[in-house]
Chains A and B, each alone.
Chain A
Amino acid sequence: MSVLEVRNLTKKFGKFTALNGVDINVNKGEVFGFIGPNGAGKSTTIRVLLGILKATEGEANIFGKDAWSDAVEIHKSIAYVPGDVNLWPNLTGGEVIDLFVKLRGGNNKSRREELINKFDLDPTKKCRTYSKGNRQKVALVAAFSSDADLYILDEPTSGLDPLMEQVFQECVIDAKKAGKSVLLSSHILSEVEKLCDRVGIIRQGKIIETGSLNELRHLTRTNLLVETKQPITSLNELKGVHDIEEKDQALSFQVDTEELDTIIKHVSQFGIVKLESAPPTLEDLFMRHYENKDEAGAGGAS
């Protein structure tokens, strides 16, 4: 069952097209990673989902309701954390958290205290004295102490230290265990890799890839590091081998997933001493998408 559904979403600011037919689907109990470089349209999509911006074309539905016209009704069951949290300088963090929780409706005092402790936040300080990371914590505490069905998190960990990022990840995992859904927009690919069931990659206002990490990995390469008794010959003649590099005694290279079998058979003839294989990181995948597209773009232009 899908909690959040975006169909052919287009948003224009004057002549500039920020979103050009975006499709996203987030299912119940799922953590969906939304990745893409700055200016690709992540935040614009999220702002349309929140009913802050009005879609030029297309549909954005949450819980089967329209994100624009039923905004208030929808917001009763979602929690949102922006990437750049601007707070009121003369209110304390504690006051802001209470205000936010109250405005959503519902109040979970013990959860609030627990999260304030976990995130190591001093709620008695005025927001003007908070660093970026601390302002982020205020928004995160407010979001996770509310009992929402869908969490919309827009680069929520920017400015957090590694310890706090760990705490954040625990919060997301807890939410998922409780059957909640999460839309997580992020730059930090290791975080997305760790948390997300499915990812969507957005580029210049278009979704260019969606699927589970496994599905996406299938399209890509495995990293291998091989040390053999005899030097490996004619490796570069094989199909599906890329980026060969010599590292001390060993060779490191990438293999297209569908050619893996052939290549391992070939390499094993030379007497394997050491073999390390690593799945492609999301970063490899991501970079490859952009490299390819750029090449294609350059080729198309000439």
Chain B
Amino acid sequence: MAGSITKNTGSLSRFIMRRDRIRIPLWIIGISFFTLMVPIAFGDMYSSQQERDVMAETMQNPAMTAMVGPGNLGNYTIGAMTTHQMLLLTAVVVGLMSILLVNRHTRADEEDGRIEMIRSLPVGRLSNVNATLFVLVITNVVLAMVTGFGLFALGIESMDLEGSLLYGTALGATGILFAGVTAVFAQLSESSRGVIGYSIAVLLLAYLVRAVGDVGNETLSWLSPLGWITQSEAYSNNNWWPILLTVGVSIILFIFANYLNAIRDLEAGFFPARPGRKNASAFLQSPMGLALRLQRTGIIAWAIGLFVMGISYGSVMGDLESFFEGNEMLEQMLVAEEGYSLTEQFIPMLLMVMGILATVPPVMAMNKLIGEEKKNRVEHLLGRAVSRTKLAGSYLLISILNGFIMISLAAIGLWSAALAVMEDGFEFGTIYGAALVYYPAMLVMIGFAVLLIGFLPKLTSLIWLYVVYSFFVLYMGGLFQFPDWVGKFSPFGYIPQLPVESMEWLPIIILTIIAAFLMIIGFIGYNKRDIEG
């Protein structure tokens, strides 16, 4: 009888591999390609041990430790550098891969009623979950082998066979562990969204607990599977016990998932389905409230992302001077100015990158309007007593505020982290002002988005081309020695480079007027055209 509850697991495994014959190889190729690129790039950028020691110095601060974990900074070889800077973040990506793949073949299939059809065939009750886990184990073993042997095959001196295999195995073990975590949540939660939500929450929690632990309390890091992974110290001490620990916990999770699956009904879960609100809050009952509610999660995620980006740029400010010396590529990108430190000269470029990146969420917020239109949902609003100007105005207002918040958060992150690591940090006003001058350029981008929505609703994604163009031309412009006029096609090309250059109000005022003009024209178009869908 024991065999009957896992009957046909083999056939189901083959079926799962057949369904994912492109998806799984893409994950493996993507992750291993990325992993192999990094040591090669490090070898080019930091070719001497002296340069690597400078880098180690730069990395030696709490913000960096929180972000990438502890590393062997005393003997910072290319191998140690790769493990320190990449292993943890790659492990998070591998965990994400496992979460998405397991959910796809367990709760998502069950929710859509496909498991019901499978179960009506001569297939065991536990076959599906075990087939999924089996495929995931194979996937992660292959990933471990490909990255492990691949890293060794690069032939970099400090990257021996044992270290390389340990690196790959650490990634694979993390993947297997999160396959187990997801398999358990796939039994507990009733919806596939819930499974993904809980599993990613565990992943993020593991990352955060480790971050806090690595900076302060070491025992805390022992509670996090991602903390174990960083203890493997591939290419330095080569500890294998964290792998054994991870695999051991994975087996317990697999057994637990099987147990839960055996005692529950199909399509049922253990977490009660939470009923939602019966009535709308007063806040939701307006076009503006609705638009904000629909974008809430996205806005919060972007806000955190930009703040963290600001912090990570800021946290390297302390050792920038020594870091720049001797790095030809960066020196070429920065034009030497008399009277300013290299760190200060680096600021305008950082802020421009942040400014263009901070343009992405407000443009998304504006384009949400066209997304809603294409899904036939704006007619619910326009079919009631809501004018087009009011509807589009709500989205525009959110977009404008969104942009302001995003650039502000990035600047605050940069300033506060720089304050923590530099001997005498920047004035808040200097950084914030230098960031805020990019705001009018962001407004022009939003204006173009509005214009497209008003007149070319089918081509609204053209705005992204313009954003990418701006980024490419202005960020890479110095490196490739583009002529000046190439940058002048982007509003970002007119912004004075504070604090190195002096403030100029004229371009700021003109850009703001252009932005307002584009928005007004766009609104006129939106009021005149047919609604699509």
Contacts and interface: CB of A to CB of B under 8 A. Distances in A.
Q: Which of B281, B375, B380 has the most CB of A within 10 A?
A: B380
Given A86-B377, A98-B284, A102-B286, A80 B294 contact: no
A98 B276 contact: no
A104 to B, nearest CB: 5
Given A94-B277, A99-B284, A105-B385, A87 B377 contact: yes
A86 B384 contact: no
A97 B287 CA distance: 14
Nearest to A49: B383
A208 interface: no
The bracket for how many chain B residues form the interface is 20 to 34
Contacts of B382: 50-52, 71, 75
Given A98-B284, A98-B285, A123 B384 contact: no
Q: Which of A53, A97, A124 has the most CB of B within 10 A?
A: A124
B379 interface: yes
A126 to B, nearest CB: 6
Contact of B531 (A53, A73, A95, A123): A53
B280 A52 contact: no
Contact of B384 (A95, A97, A100): A100
A94 B385 contact: no
Contacts of A99: 280, 284-285, 290
A262 to B, nearest CB: 52
Interface in A69-109: 71-73, 75-76, 80, 82, 84, 86-88, 90-92, 94-100, 102-105
Contacts of A71: 382, 387
B385 A72 contact: yes
Interface in B4-42: none
Interface string A59-76: 000000000000111011
A95 B280 contact: yes
Interface in A100-144: 100, 102-105, 123-126
A90 B275 contact: no
B383 A50 contact: yes
A54 interface: yes
B275 A88 contact: no
B375 A86 contact: yes
Interface in B362-413: 375-377, 379-387
B424 interface: no
A92 B376 contact: no
A95 B287 contact: no
A239 to B, nearest CB: 51
B275 A125 contact: yes
B338 interface: no
A234 to B, nearest CB: 59
A95 B279 contact: yes
A87 B294 CA distance: 11
A98 B279 contact: yes
B293 interface: yes
B94 to A, nearest CB: 29
Contacts of A87: 377
A94 B279 contact: yes
A102 B281 CA distance: 11
A106 to B, nearest CB: 10
Contacts of B275: 124-125
A151 to B, nearest CB: 12
Nearest to A129: B191
Contacts of A126: 276
A92 B278 CA distance: 7
Contacts of B384: 75, 80, 100, 103-104
A145 to B, nearest CB: 13
A86 B286 contact: no
Contacts of A92: 276-278
B530 A52 contact: yes
Nearest to A90: B294
Given A50-B379, A88-B294, A123 B278 contact: yes
B43 to A, nearest CB: 47
A126 B273 CA distance: 11
A80 B376 CA distance: 14
A91 B293 contact: yes
Contacts of B280: 91, 94-99, 102
Nearest to B297: A90
Given A82-B376, A84-B376, A95-B284, A103 B278 contact: no
A75 B383 contact: yes
B398 to A, nearest CB: 16
Interface of B: 275-281, 284-287, 290, 293-294, 375-377, 379-387, 528-531
Q: 7 closest pairs, A vs B, by CB?
A: A98-B280, A92-B276, A124-B275, A102-B285, A95-B280, A103-B384, A80-B383
Given A71-B382, A73-B385, A82-B383, 4 more contacts: A50-B383, A95-B279, A124-B276, A124-B278
